[in-house]
Amino acid sequence: WTVYSAYTLYCNYLEARTLGVPIRIIPIDHLNKLWLLVDKQVVALVRRLPGVLGNNNFTRFNYRGWHEDDGLRAHDEMGEAFVLCTPSRNWLYLADPDALINMYRRGKDFPRWVEITKMLDVFGGPTIATASGEEWRRIRKISNSALNEQCNAIVWSESAALGEAMSNYWASQGVFTSVGEDSRTVTLHVLSKACFGQSLPFEGHHGRASDTSASASFRFSLLTIMENALLILALTPSFFTNRWLPMPAAWRKLGEACDAFRGHMRQLYQRELRVLEEKKLTPGEESLEKKRDYTLMAALVRASQERPDEKDEEDRRFANLTEAEIYGNMFVFAFAGHDTTAHLLTYAVFFLAANPTIQTWVADEIQQVLGTRPRSEWDYHADFPRLKRCLAILYETLRVKTPVCEVKWTEDRAQQLRVAGQMLTVPPQTLMIPSYLYVHKHARYWGSDAMEWQPERWIATRGAVNEAGGLGEGGLHAGNNGGYHRRARPHVVEDEKDESADISQEGEEEVLLPPPSRGNYLGWSEGARDCPGKRFSHVEWAAFLAAMFRDWKVEPQQLPGETFAESRTRVLDFVEKDTDYGGLLLQLMHPEKVPLVWSRR
Ligand code: HEM
C-alpha cells in the first residue's frame, strides 16, 4: 500500500507541476475513510514533536478543516491558487472571486464531484444531489417547480409557530443550554411540514425523554435518522435493518427508524396517488387535493404521474420521477435543509447574545413590520419582504461561518481557467475547492472589519444607494465598510447591555446590499447547481427571527464578578474555538457549554 501510495503521489505531483502554481505535498488524502476517523488526533500528537518534525505540511494541511485554523495564511503566502498534492487526487484551492464565478457558471466543464454526495442515495435515487447531466436537469426542474411560493407560505407560518414555541420554552428555562439541539428540532419540524405535511409540535430538550416510546411515530423516525445521518450514510439503512447481524440496541433502533421512515413515505406516497386518482375520476369537484396542505412530497408525486403524451417534446424529457427517486429526493431535501439552517441559527443566537445593540437593531425592524400583531396575523406576502435586517443576520452569519464545503472537478477532460490573470490548464480528475474563508473574509473585499460579524454591512438606505450610483460592484455593496455606516455603527462598550440602536433614518426604505462581487459570496453556491432551497431558508430564517426577537432577548449568563464586556469576549472566543467540522458541516461542536439567558425585551 505504501509503495502504491508513493507511486500515485509521484504521478499526481508530476501532473500538479503542469499547473504552474505552488504545490504542497501531503501523504494522506483528506477523504481517506480510515484517516477521517483519526486525522485530528494523529496530527495533534505529531505536532508535539520538536522543530520541523512537529511543524510541517503534514501537520498544517493534512486534516479536514485545516483551512479554518490556517485562516487567510495559505493564500496570502501562495497566491490565489495552490495545489495540495495527495496520493489519491490533486486538490486545487482557488481564492480568485472572478475565477470562482467563472468555474460555477461553467457547470459542464466543472461539474459537482458527485462521488462525495453519492452516499445520500440511501433511501433511493438517483437524487437531485447525486445525479449528473441530463438526469440531474430532469430532477432539478421538478424540484425547482415544487419549491414554489405555496411551499414558502407554509414554511413561513410553520417556522413562526416553532420559533415562538422555542422562545417560550427557553423563557420557561430562563438559563438555557440547548440552543444547538433545539435549533435542530425546529428546522427538522419545518421540513417535516413542508416535505410531508406533518406538523410536529416543538419539544424542547427536557421534554424529549418521554418521546422514545412512540418508536413507530413519524417524528421519532425522522429525528432518529437525522441525528444519526452520518452513520446511515456510511453503513446504509440495510445494514441496520439486517436482523442477523449482532449490533447494539441503539443501532437496532436506528434500523427500526429507517423501516418506519420508509413505511411513512410509502403511506404518504399511496395517499397522494389516491388523491390524484380521485381528481381524475371527479374533475372539477371539490377534491381531496384542495382539502389538504401543499407538500413537496405531493408535488413530486404529481410530477411523477405526468403523462408524456400530455406534454410537448421539450417537457417530455423532464417528466416523471420513479417511486424510488421520490423517496431518495425527499430524504435529500430533509438532509440538505436541516443542519445547514440549524447550525447557522445556533451561531446567530451566540453572536446576538454577544451583540445586544444588533439585537435591538433587528428587534426595531421586526416591531416596525409586525407591530404587536399576534402570530396568527403575520402575513408571508406582506411581511416577509420587509424583514431585511433579519436576512442581513443570515447573510452575515453565513459569510463568517459557511457550513457547506463544495467540491467541483474537471472530470475526464483538462479545462482552461483564468486565475489572477494567469491561464491555467487544469488536468483531468483535479478537484476544485473554493476557498470560502478567503473570498468571504479578506479585508481587500470586505473592508477592515472583514473578520467581524457585522450584519449592518448588508443594509443601506435607498437614498444612500442612489447617492453611491446604485447597487453592486460599481456602487454600494456589502463590502463598503458597513451598509448602515451612514449612522454611527452600534458598538459595545464596557458594561453596556442594551444601547438603543439609533434608527436616525427611520421611515427611509432600507435595502439589502449585494456582496462586493458574486464570486465573493458562495454560501448557497452559484451557477445552475446552486442551492434550490435558498428562498426556503430565507423565509424560514426571517420567520424564526421575527418570532424569537420581537419580544425576547438573549444574553450570556455572566460568571460571578464578570462584566458584560468580559462575558461578551468569552462568548466570541468560545465561538471561534468551538467551531469545527462535525460530520460534514462547519458547526459549533458544544454549544451547550456556554449557558445563555432568555428573557423579555
Ligand atoms: C441556510 C441554509 C442553506 C445553505 C447555506 C445551503 C447551502 C447549499 C449549498 C452550498 C449547496 C451546494 C452543495 C454542493 O454543491 O455540494 C446546496 C445544495 C442543495 N441544497 Fe441547500 N442550503 C441551505 C438550505 C437548504 C434547504 C432549506 C433546502 C431544502 C428545502 C436545501 C436543499 C438543497 C438541495 C436539494 C441541494 C442540491 C442541489 C443540486 O445538486 O442541484 N438547502 N445547498
Q: Comparing 6-10, 113-117, 332-336, 537-541, which segment has the lowest mean pLDDT?
A: 113-117
* Ligand 1 contact via 5 beta carbon (within 6 Å): no
CA-CA distance, 57 to 63, in Å (whole number)?
10
Highest mean pLDDT among 43-57, 126-140, 580-594: 43-57
**pLDDT, tens digit (0-9, with 9 covering 90-100), for 434-480:** 999 999 999 999 999 999 999 999 999 988 888 888 888 778 999 88
**Residue-level pLDDT at 288:** 55
Question: Would you place residue 290 in the very low, low, confident or very high pLDDT band (cuts 50, 70, 90)?
Answer: low
Centre of ligand 1 from the C-alpha of residue 148, in Å: 15
Centre of ligand 1 from the C-alpha of residue 537, in Å: 9
Question: Would you place residue 313 in the very low, low, confident or very high pLDDT band (cuts 50, 70, 90)?
Answer: low
**Residue-level pLDDT at 500:** 36
In 387-517, the DSSP E strands lie at 408-409, 415-419, 422-426, 431-434, 459-461, 510-512
Question: Would you place residue 221 in the very low, low, confident or very high pLDDT band (cuts 50, 70, 90)?
Answer: confident
More confidently predicted of 227 and 15: 15
Which of 147, 531, 544 best tests ligand 1's pocket when mutated (most atoms within 8 Å of CB)?
531
**Residue-level pLDDT at 405:** 87
Backbone angles phi, psi at 566, to 5 degrees: -70, -40
Closest C-alpha residue for ligand 1 atom 7? 524
* Ligand 1 contact via 129 beta carbon (within 6 Å): yes
> Among 122, 259, 265, which Cα is nearest to 192's?
265
**Residue-level pLDDT at 485:** 45
**pLDDT, tens digit (0-9, with 9 covering 90-100), for 58-86:** 999 999 889 999 999 999 999 999 999 99
Centre of ligand 1 from the C-alpha of residue 532, in Å: 6
Centre of ligand 1 from the C-alpha of residue 293, in Å: 24
CA-CA distance, 233 to 141, in Å (whole number)?
26
pLDDT at position 216 over 50: no
Cell of 290: 384542495
Centre of ligand 1 from the C-alpha of residue 331, in Å: 13
**pLDDT, tens digit (0-9, with 9 covering 90-100), for 504-552:** 445 578 999 999 999 999 999 999 999 999 999 999 999 999 999 999 9
* Ligand 1 contact via 25 beta carbon (within 6 Å): no
* Ligand 1 contact via 558 beta carbon (within 6 Å): no
> Among 204, 166, 186, which Cα is nearest to 551's?
166
The ipTM estimated for the assembled molecules is 0.99
Amino acid at 234: A
CA-CA distance, 236 to 241, in Å (whole number)?
9
Centre of ligand 1 from the C-alpha of residue 332, in Å: 9
Question: Would you place residue 487 in the very low, low, confident or very high pLDDT band (cuts 50, 70, 90)?
Answer: very low
More confidently predicted of 583 and 503: 583
Indicate which atom in ligand 1 lies nearest the CA of residue 540.
Answer: 27
**pLDDT, tens digit (0-9, with 9 covering 90-100), for 380-409:** 999 999 999 999 999 999 999 999 989 999
* Residue 22 near residue 78 (C-beta atoms within 8 A): yes
Radius of gyration of the CA atoms of the chain, in A: 25
* Residue 498 near residue 352 (C-beta atoms within 8 A): no
> Among 19, 13, 14, which Cα is nearest to 419's?
19
* Ligand 1 contact via 522 beta carbon (within 6 Å): no
* Ligand 1 contact via 67 beta carbon (within 6 Å): no
Closest C-alpha residue for ligand 1 atom 35? 333
**Residue-level pLDDT at 181:** 93
Which of 339, 340, 346, 347 best tests ligand 1's pocket when mutated (most atoms within 8 Å of CB)?
340
Cell of 529: 447547481
**Residue-level pLDDT at 47:** 96
